[in-house]
């Protein structure tokens, strides 16, 4: 973002500045209180949506669940409008990830309320299920998300090599078990043997395919033991990258591009260069 673009932002009224700090900032008393309240409402909404799918509960408490859903949707609608009003660039926020999540989380309920006979339309019932996407609003409270994403990006080449190694291992084990057990056994093909190797190596063990020969059972035992060791490999890779990338960040949110995760002593946004004091 250029300096000329930032200069085009009109000075905000004190109440809009206070509203912005309350809604978008996380390091103020009002901001923390707002986050806690919003977190509670999101969890309550998810509980209501989940309980509504249980036939026995919907039959006895359906009216109460729908009343709670409309009240919560009204609150989330007010929150969405407040974010648009408080943000210096409403269109930027509306097109952002969280802006779209906020919109998708409230639209289904209003569609079902204002479209006559909408409850009988399959497409609207599908839209209503989209209310569970309010769980994405919880990502707003994961302040270490950037650190985790960076660690995953840094460790991805190592994890890719690990997954290729595992793929080669299960392919070899599946083909070997097909040869050992024979066509007349439960290992009717190499793909089925690979499926068994994946299930065994991950220690899931469905039991729908089992070896019957002694040599096959020995190999199966070795694969099971190997599975416990393999589980720790990706965990160690990501943990090492997390430990390497750990650093202190502030809860300051840029008023121009909404980027978070700045250094504690940062005065300007590292993405757009806007002043963090505005």
| Per-residue pLDDT at 103 | 87
**Two tokens, residue 186:** 């439960």
Q: How far is CA 31 from CA 144, 169, 252, in A?
A: 17, 51, 11
> Cβ neighbours of residue 103 under 8 Å, at least 6 residues apart?
80, 94
CA atoms lying within 13 Å on the CB side of residue 72: 25
33-44 pLDDT tens trace: 888 888 888 888
Instruction: From 147, 111, 143, 155, select the one nearest 130 (Cα to Cα).
Output: 111
Phi, then psi, of 183 in degrees rounded to 5: -65, -30
278 — pLDDT class (breaks 50, 70, 90) = low
The tokens for 113 are: 């309320």
For residue 249, pLDDT beyond 60:
no
The 10s digit of each residue's pLDDT in 174-183 is 999 999 998 7
Q: What does the pLDDT look like over 140-151, one tens digit per residue?
A: 666 556 667 777
Looking at the predicted structure, is the pLDDT value of residue 171 above 90? Answer: yes
Nearest C-alpha neighbor of 146 from the set 246, 11, 25: 246
Contact 78, 85 (CB under 8 A): no
- pLDDT above 70 (res 60): yes
pLDDT at residue 4 tops 50: no
User: Rounded CA gap, 170 and 197, in Å?
Assistant: 5
Residue with tokens 């999540």: 101
CA dist 55 and 61 (Å) reads 10
């Amino acid at each position: 973002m250029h300096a000329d673009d930032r200069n085009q932002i009109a000075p905000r009224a004190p109440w809009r500045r206070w509203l912005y700090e309350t809604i978008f900032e996380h390091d103020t008393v009002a901001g923390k209180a707002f986050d806690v309240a919003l977190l509670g409402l999101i969890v309550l909404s998810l509980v209501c949506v989940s309980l509504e799918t249980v036939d026995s509960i919907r039959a006895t408490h359906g009216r109460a669940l729908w009343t709670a859903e409309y009240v919560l949707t009204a609150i989330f609608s007010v929150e969405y409008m407040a974010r648009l009003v408080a943000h210096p660039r409403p269109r930027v926020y509306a097109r952002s990830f969280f802006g779209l999540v906020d919109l998708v989380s409230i639209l289904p309920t209003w569609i079902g309320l204002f479209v006559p006979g909408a409850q009988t339309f399959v497409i609207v019932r599908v839209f209503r299920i989209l209310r569970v996407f309010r769980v994405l609003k919880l990502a707003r409270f994961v302040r270490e998300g950037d650190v985790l994403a960076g660690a995953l990006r840094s460790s991805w080449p190592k994890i890719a090599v690990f997954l290729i190694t595992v793929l080669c291992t299960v392919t070899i084990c599946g083909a070997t078990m097909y040869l050992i057990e024979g066509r007349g056994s439960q290992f009717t093909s190499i793909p089925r043997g690979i499926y068994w190797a994946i299930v065994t190596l991950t220690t899931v063990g469905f039991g729908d395919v089992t070896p019957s020969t002694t040599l096959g059972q020995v190999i199966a035992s070795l694969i099971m033991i190997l599975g416990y060791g393999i589980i720790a490999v990706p965990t160690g890779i990501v943990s090492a990258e997390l430990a390497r990338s750990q650093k202190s960040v502030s809860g300051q949110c840029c008023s121009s591009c909404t980027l978070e995760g700045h250094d504690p002593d940062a005065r300007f946004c590292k993405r757009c260069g806007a002043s963090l004091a505005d």
